């Protein structure tokens, strides 16, 4: 008889930013298949998802990955259900309207790697600041780069877990990094960002670091952190029409506040119109424009207006399920 460790992972009910929770279930002779992962329960009164008098919430497995750091281990991404098996109000994966998987998403997850001893980003000295940004982005060498061993180990974990992990790079500020994941399914793209975040956070326990997803953790003349959302559907991938692209982009204009409302807490501190952002109250789009709300990639134009769009507004602490859900809704509303 073999024993397997199934790590059930879910999002709690904390506001304004949900956090990851997980617990381990040991199974005998587990097949490794999602359909053999049973629904499990947890104490929702300890995660802001239920009252103490009726505290049971349910975990519905929706995606499974091998756990690269545990013997006979699996990572099980779960949706949270009420006791009657309806989606819990905190379950935003259930709001994604893309059953035919027409929408593809690629998320660029930026984050700051923080030293637990100083509560400062790696590379920031106590009581002061490093040199101004400009030499850190995609840098090489110990003078401008901190945390590479951690970042490389995280990349290996994600690849070994079977995520469609597409890359890493150091970002504009010291201690700031980015990774990218892509999926030909909105729900899968969200699942993989959350699993990658889970592996990121679990790895910090080994290094005595922690991850900061606040969109503007360092005040002043420093870039904030985002989770840029690259998206396409069949129309965007095949239309060959600048007019169609413009109509889809214009569909975002009247719902600017709705999008900002689910693009992450404290995002107004990042979306100032500076540091490669559009202002939080504005809406704009442009070809190859990283100061716009939505960037039209130059590759899309060069391929004859067949490709994707990048919404640059989501913050690093945004829920990819919420982001995908509202983007899909808005694109579907475009009159094309």
| Alpha-carbon distances, residue 206 vs 118, 154, 161, 203, 217 (angstroms) | 17, 12, 18, 6, 23
**Contact, 240 vs 305, CB < 8 A?**
yes
Return d(Cα 99, Cα 33) in angstroms, integer.
21
Q: Which runs of E-coded beta strand occur in 94-206? A: 104-115, 120-121, 165-170, 176-183
Tokens (6 digits) for 61: 């497995």
**Contact assessment for residue 283 and residue 296, using Cβ atoms and an 8 Å cutoff:** no
pLDDT band at 335 (very low <50, low <70, confident <90, very high): confident
Q: What percent of the chain has a predicted confidence (pLDDT) above 70?
A: 100
CA distance 60 to 52: 21
Q: What is the pLDDT of residue 221?
A: 87
Q: Is the pLDDT of residue 321 over 80?
A: yes
What pLDDT shows up at residue 70?
A: 96
Q: For 242-336, where are the alpha helices, taking DSSP H only?
A: 242-250, 256-261, 298-302, 320-333
Kindly list the structural domains of the chain, giving each domain's residue range(s) and its CATH number in brackets, ordered by start.
Answer: 3-94 (3.10.20.70), 104-333 (3.30.590.10)
Q: What is the mean pLDDT of residues 308-329?
A: 98
What is the reported pLDDT for 134? 86
Give the chain's end-to-end CA distance (angstroms, integer): 58
pLDDT digits (tens, 9 = 90+) for 71-106: 999 999 999 999 999 999 999 999 999 989 999 999
What pTM was estimated for this model as a whole?
0.96
Instruction: Please provide the size of the chain in residues.
Output: 336
Phi/psi of residue 206, each to 5°? -75, -35
Low-confidence winner among 123-127, 166-170, 225-229, 266-270 (lowest mean pLDDT): 123-127
Question: Residue 129: what pLDDT?
Answer: 75
**C-beta of residue 145 within 8 angstroms of C-beta of residue 138:** no
Instruction: List the single range of 182-186, 226-230, 273-277 with lowest mean pLDDT.
Output: 273-277
pLDDT confidence of residue 74: 98
**What is residue 131's predicted lDDT score, i.e. its pLDDT?**
83
Q: Tokens for 93, please give them.
A: 């994966």
Q: Could you report the per-residue pLDDT of 195-252, keeping only the tens digit for each?
A: 999 999 999 999 999 999 999 999 888 899 999 999 999 999 999 999 999 999 999 9
pLDDT confidence tier of residue 1, bands split at 50, 70 and 90: confident
* CA 108-114-120 angle, 5° bins: 125
pLDDT at 275: 83
Model pLDDT, residue 132: 83
Q: Lowest mean pLDDT: which of 2-11, 130-139, 174-183?
A: 130-139
- Taking only the tens place, the pLDDT of each residue in 97-141 is 998 999 999 999 999 999 999 999 999 987 777 888 889 999 999
User: What's residue 123's pLDDT?
Assistant: 93
Provide the pLDDT confidence category of residue 53 given band limits of 50, 70 and 90: confident
Q: What is the mean pLDDT of residues 277-304?
A: 97
Q: Is the pLDDT of residue 293 over 90?
A: yes
Inform me whether the pLDDT recorded for 55 exceeds 90: yes
**H or E segment at 155?**
helix 148-160
Angstrom distance (rounded) from CA 68 to CA 146? 24
Distance of CA 125 to the CA centre of its chain: 29
Residues 309-313, mean pLDDT to the nearest whole number: 98
């Amino acid at each position: 008889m073999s024993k397997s460790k199934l790590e059930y992972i879910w999002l709690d009910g904390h506001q304004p930013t949900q956090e990851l929770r997980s617990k381990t279930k040991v199974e005998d002779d587990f097949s490794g298949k999602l359909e053999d992962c049973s629904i499990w329960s947890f104490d929702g009164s300890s995660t802001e998802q239920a009252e103490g008098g009726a505290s049971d919430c349910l975990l519905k497995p929706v995606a499974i990955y091998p756990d690269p750091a545990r013997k006979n281990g699996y990572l099980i991404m779960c949706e949270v259900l009420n006791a009657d098996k309806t989606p819990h109000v905190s379950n935003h994966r259930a709001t994604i309207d893309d059953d035919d998987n027409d929408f593809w998403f690629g998320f660029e997850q930026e984050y700051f790697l923080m030293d637990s001893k100083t509560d400062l980003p790696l590379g920031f000295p106590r009581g002061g600041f490093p040199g101004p940004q400009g030499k850190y982005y995609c840098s090489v060498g110990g003078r401008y780069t901190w945390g590479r061993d951690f970042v490389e180990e995280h990349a290996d974990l994600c690849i070994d877990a079977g995520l469609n992990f597409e890359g890493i790079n150091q970002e504009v500020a010291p201690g700031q990094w980015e990774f990218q994941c892509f999926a030909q399914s909105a729900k899968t793209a969200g699942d993989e960002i959350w699993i990658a975040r889970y592996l990121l956070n679990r790895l910090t326990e080994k290094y005595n670091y922690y991850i900061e997803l606040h969109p503007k953790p360092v005040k002043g003349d420093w870039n904030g952190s985002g989770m840029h959302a690259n998206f396409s559907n069949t129309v965007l991938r095949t239309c060959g029409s600048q007019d169609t692209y413009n109509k889809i982009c214009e569909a975002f204009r009247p719902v600017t506040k709705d999008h900002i409302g689910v693009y992450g807490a404290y995002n107004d501190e990042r979306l100032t119109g500076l540091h490669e952002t559009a202002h939080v109250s504005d809406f704009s789009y442009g070809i190859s424009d990283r100061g716009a709300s939505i960037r039209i990639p130059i590759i899309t134009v060069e391929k004859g207006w067949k490709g994707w769009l990048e919404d640059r507004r989501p913050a690093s602490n945004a829920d990819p399920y919420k982001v995908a859900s509202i983007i899909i809704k808005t694109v579907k509303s475009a009159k094309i």
